[in-house]
Amino acid sequence: MDTQKIVQNALAAGYVVPAFNIPHLPMMEPITRAVADEKSIGMIQVARLEWEKFEAESLEKVAELYGKYKKPGYTLLHLDHVPVVDEDHLEVDYLSIIRRALKAGYQSVMVDGSRLPLEGNIAATKAAAEIAHAAGVPIEAELGAVMGHETSQQSIPYEEIFAGKMGFTKVDEAVRFVKESGCDWLSVAVGSVHGAIADNLLDKKKPAAKLDIQRIAELRSALGIPLVLHGGSGIVESYITAGIKAGIAKINVGTELRQPYERALRETGSVEAAQESVYTRCRELIRDFLHTAGNAEILNK
C-alpha cells in the first residue's frame, strides 16, 4: 500500500482517510478490526503526547502492536503530532523522534511547528521533510493554530474564535509554507478543536465545532495538496461532509474513541468490554459520520 497515493486518491475521489489515535494500547485491536470490517481505509496513529501523557507507552510499542493487528489492504501506520515546541512550551528533539518512527516502520509522519513563527515553522518542517523523504515517506505539517491543547486558549468562547477566524490558516502564508517546507499534506486551522488534555476536561463533551468551508476551498485550490483536519471529533456532520468535498483528505479522530474506551473501562472494569465499545463506535463513525465504508478498493487503485 502506497500511503501518498491513497491520500491523493482520497482527495481526487472526494473521500477522506480517517486517522484514529491510540492513547491506550488496547484500542489498537478493535480499531483495526472495525476498519477492516467496514472495508474502509484507516490510519492508526499516535502522537507524542499520547505516550507522554496518556498510556500509549512509546512509538515503538505502538508500531509493534500495529504489526500484530494490522489489516493489509485496509490499515496504515502514521505518526501524529511530533511538536517542535510542545504543549508545555518545551523544546522537543523532534528530528530524532521522526528518525525513530521511520526505523520502526511508520508509513507517514507529522511534524508540528505550528507554535513557532512562520519562518521557524518552515525551517523545522523542511528539516523533518528531508529526513522523511529520504526514507520515501510522506510528511504532514501544520500551519495555523488548531485550538484545544493549550489551556490558555480555552477561556475564549468557541463562537468568538470562529467568528473572528482566530488562528485560522491564511492562504498566502500557506502557499509560501508548502513551497518552501516541502511538506506533502497540510493540517489547517479552519474551525476544529483538539481534544482536551487537562484532567478536568477529559470527560467533557467537546463543543459543537463548525468549519470554514470557503477557507478550505481556497486553500485547496491555492495549494493543490491534501488538507488534513485535526480535532475531527465533535464537528457538526454537515460541515464534515462539506469539508471533505472542499478538500479535506485526512481527518484525525481521537476523543470520539478515547471517551467510550475510558467510560466503559471505568464502568465495567473490563478491558474487553472497553475494546468492544471502541469497536462499535469506530464502525458507526466510519459508516454513518465519515462515510468511508467500502472505499478501500477505490483508494488502493
The residue ranges that bind Zn ion (CB under 5 A) are 230
* Of 107 and 114, CB closest to Zn ion: 114
Shortest distance in whole angstroms from residue 245 CB to Zn ion = 22
* Of 33 and 230, CB closest to Zn ion: 230
* Of 78 and 230, CB closest to Zn ion: 230
Report phi then psi at 252, rounded to 5. -90, 135
* Of 31 and 265, CB closest to Zn ion: 31
Shortest distance in whole angstroms from residue 125 CB to Zn ion = 15
Query: Which residues, at least 6 apart from 129, have a Cβ–Cβ distance to it below 8 Å?
Result: 111, 139, 141, 181, 182, 183, 184
* Of 141 and 213, CB closest to Zn ion: 141
Shortest distance in whole angstroms from residue 270 CB to Zn ion = 30
Shortest distance in whole angstroms from residue 146 CB to Zn ion = 6
* Of 230 and 281, CB closest to Zn ion: 230
**Residue closest to Zn ion when measured from CB atoms:** 230
Shortest distance in whole angstroms from residue 266 CB to Zn ion = 25
Shortest distance in whole angstroms from residue 188 CB to Zn ion = 11
